[in-house]
Structure 1
Amino acid sequence: MIVQEIPFATILILGLASFRLTRLIVYDKITEFLRSPFFNEVEETNEDGTKDIFLLPKEKGLRKWVGELLSCFWCTGIWVSMGITLLFLTGVKTGDFIILILAVAAIGSIIEVLISKWIGN
């Protein structure tokens, strides 16, 4: 079986790359333009007068399906993991480079969150 042949360190790197790319797709501001065609903005006014904006997936069709997918970190993570794994298994050096960059960025993100929690921000 192929999984037994992949070292744990490699699986860890693939997991970190998948984590970072999933967060990039689902949450990060820089990819908001990719998500926006699949969501409607709904504005609600609170009792104190402040307004909250919620993103709801489009009502029907392919845009609804993609919107549902993008609104679920876990769902998007499965597809991203599949893509990252296929990229790795192709053996293309460019793919390895992209995976490494995403894994290093994930480690940096995790460290940033831990430090922010530690110093109280």
Structure 2
Amino acid sequence: MEKITLLQLLILSFASFRLTRLFVFDKITEFIRNPFFDEVKEENEEGETEVYYIPKQTGVKRFFGELLSCYWCTGIWMTILIVSLYFLLPVYSEPVILVLAIAGIASMIETIIQQIMEK
């Protein structure tokens, strides 16, 4: 196996970060998560409706629901996917990994700027 440079490690890390957030949090991938969760609505003390997503209770749907509800768990599997693709299909995966890494860095910058602007 070839050695990974610091730059490659950073790119792979940011790509893994972004892909994980894409699957666990982003609205655009909600259709992937929906089959694995039950939606529970509750009214809070202010009379507002809050929505909670609870993993399904049985079988494979429960497994994937639990997986997708855990950022750290999903992150491990997304990292395995990213690194595997990087080594097995570098010509095809490198552009995708680079885009994910840049998007990950951009999201971090945006979060920092939003926090600064709120102060």
Which position in structure 2 is the counterpart of 1:72?
70
Q: Runs of 5+ in structure 2 lacking a partner? A: none
Helix, strand or coil at the partner of 1:105 = helix
> Matched residues in 1 for 2:95 and 2:44: separation?
47
- State the Cα deviation string for residues 36-86 of structure 1 (Å, max 9, x = none): 000000011112211111000001000000000000000000000000000
Q: Runs of 5+ in structure 1 lacking a partner? A: none
- State the Cα deviation string for residues 71-117 of structure 1 (Å, max 9, x = none): 00000000000000001111431200100000010111011001001
Which position in structure 2 is the counterpart of 1:90?
88
Of all paired residues, the percent bearing the same amino acid is 47
> Matched residues in 1 for 2:108 and 2:43: separation?
34
Q: TM-score, normalised by structure 1?
A: 0.94
Which of 35, 42, 47 is the aligned partner of 1:49?
47
Runs of 4+ with >6 A deviation:
none
Count of residue correspondences: 119
> Matched residues in 1 for 2:84 and 2:77: separation?
11
Is residue 5 of structure 2 the alignment partner of residue 7 of structure 1?
yes
